[in-house]
Amino acid sequence: MRTTARFWLLVLCVGGLALLISRPALAAELANTEVYRLEAGQVVTSDLIVTAGEVYIDGTVEGDLVAFAGLVEVNGRIEGDLLALAGEVRINGVVGDDLRAGAAGVIIHGEVGDHVLAAAGGGDGPAGFVPPIGGRTVQQGFVVASDARVGGGVIVAAGGVQLEGTVGDDVLVAAGSAVLAGTVEGNAQLSVGALDVADTARVAGQLTYTAPEEISLPDQVAATIRFEPEATSATTGGGSNLFSQTLRLLLVLLGFTGAAWLLLRFAPQTLATPAGAIMMSPGKALLYGLVAALLLVVLPLLSTLIGVILLLFWGPLPAIMFGFFLTGAIVLIWTLSPLVTGLWLGQAIFQATGRYASRLATLMLGVAVIVLLGMVPFLGWFVYLLSFLFAIGGTLLARNAALARRSESMIGAPG
């Protein structure tokens, strides 16, 4: 029970830290290029959003940096948060606030002022081969190097983890393998497949680790040392299952974050219009979604008939392509439906609490609620079904409203 409680605490912390980007951006500088470089001495006085193959920050960003790139390297200073999805994220300079990163490699040699939340590859994790980026090999895994300092806590799921520097608060790790050689000024909880603790390691609070077997640790490593064998963690499936579940959660949330940012940046109405329709009439949206779902029950029969016609008159290739297209469309709508429903749910939550946040933060708060509830056994499929029904219903409502407005404008236009 204790392990289960800690697992869900980890999940909630991950969701909260990753998704509540609660400070709305008043202004942001946008960049979309192959290589983006902020030279030393240059200053961006607002938030900075970059989509590029490579991103180099040698100067100063006085706001937050949001980066989607193959490589993100910070040699200068970011006063606010860094949110990055990349092949490699490398911090040689300073991130003044939080670091939230998903990459094959997250490497910290500099300073992070507050918390770190990361998902990375390395070790025996699932990242696999990553091609060279910017002419150099990607260093996989999560690393807090010996010359690095993190002012807040660290939550990480990775194939391989190295903690050699200083962490100013608690550490939560789910990893295939981990090396603890630095200083943790709070508690440390490690769920790993393999653990190496160096003589230089120091944990101010309690060191708790779950591993295949207990290892011999020097008494001076931590004030209290506790070993939880995998056999006693059946409720979560042991360290490897905790790692896989946590990593999957992080990757899903980071994937939704990337998709949400792209849609809000380049096609915001694809999400905002259906979400607004749901907000105006949630019951009607659900009803429309149910009707559409009932039609989908008939769809296999109809699609089979169309496939047979295509096969008879145009041959097997068009029939096969039609089947792939139809199946892919349904799967895509099901998978991305939390983006529409999440924006509506996030707006409802912020309205109920009397708070305000940016559209991305609002959307991702709702998505986080859906994804976390979706992980609950037996309840998860129902949550995603409701999300799908609301998204379909909201889209149909928005489409009907647009057609009605178009008809009214045509009727009211002079002949």
Residue 44: pLDDT above 90? yes
Q: Average pLDDT over the chain, rounded to whole?
A: 79
Q: Give the predicted TM-score (pTM) of the model.
A: 0.60
Angle between helices 238-266 and 316-353 (to 10 degrees): 90
**Average pLDDT, stretch 338-354?**
86
Range scoring the smallest mean pLDDT among 71-75, 77-81, 247-251, 332-336: 247-251
> How many residues are there in the chain?
415
Q: Which residues contact 350 (CB under 8 A, 6 or more apart)?
A: 356, 357, 362, 365
Q: How confident is the model at residue 4 (pLDDT cuts 50, 70, 90)?
A: very low
- Residues 101/266/53/67 CA torsion (nearest 10 deg): -30
Q: Which two tokens stand for residue 401?
A: 């409203």
Residue 148: pLDDT above 70? yes
Distances (CA, A) of 111 to 80, 83, 116, 153, 286: 13, 15, 11, 13, 48
Q: Which residue ranges make up each domain of the chain?
A: 2-235, 267-409
Q: Which residues contact 222 (CB under 8 A, 6 or more apart)?
A: 188, 202, 203, 204, 205, 206, 207
**Average pLDDT, stretch 139-159?**
92
pLDDT in tens, 259-299: 787 787 778 888 888 888 889 888 888 888 888 777 765 55
Angle between helices 238-266 and 359-374 (to 10 degrees): 150
Q: Pick the closest to residue 249 from 132, 130, 117, 395 (CA basis).
A: 117
To which residue do tokens 């500099």 refer? 110
pLDDT in tens, 110-134: 999 999 998 888 765 444 455 676 6
Distance separating the N- and C-terminal Cα atoms of the chain:
74
Q: How confident is the model at residue 324 (pLDDT cuts 50, 70, 90)?
A: low
Residue 146: pLDDT above 90? yes
Q: Which residues contact 46 (CB under 8 A, 6 or more apart)?
A: 25, 26, 27, 28, 29, 62, 63
Q: Which two tokens stand for residue 44?
A: 């961006």
Q: Which residues contact 367 (CB under 8 A, 6 or more apart)?
A: 19, 253, 256, 260, 338, 339, 342, 346
Q: Are 285 and 53 in contact (CB under 8 A)?
A: no
Q: How confident is the model at residue 214 (pLDDT cuts 50, 70, 90)?
A: confident
Say how many C-beta atoms besides its own lie within 10 A of residue 343's C-beta: 31
Q: How confident is the model at residue 32 (pLDDT cuts 50, 70, 90)?
A: confident
Q: How confident is the model at residue 8 (pLDDT cuts 50, 70, 90)?
A: very low
pLDDT in tens, 171-207: 999 888 999 999 999 999 998 888 999 999 999 999 9
Q: In this predicted structure, what is the pLDDT of residue 40?
A: 94
**Average pLDDT, stretch 401-408?**
71
Q: In this predicted structure, what is the pLDDT of residue 65?
A: 92
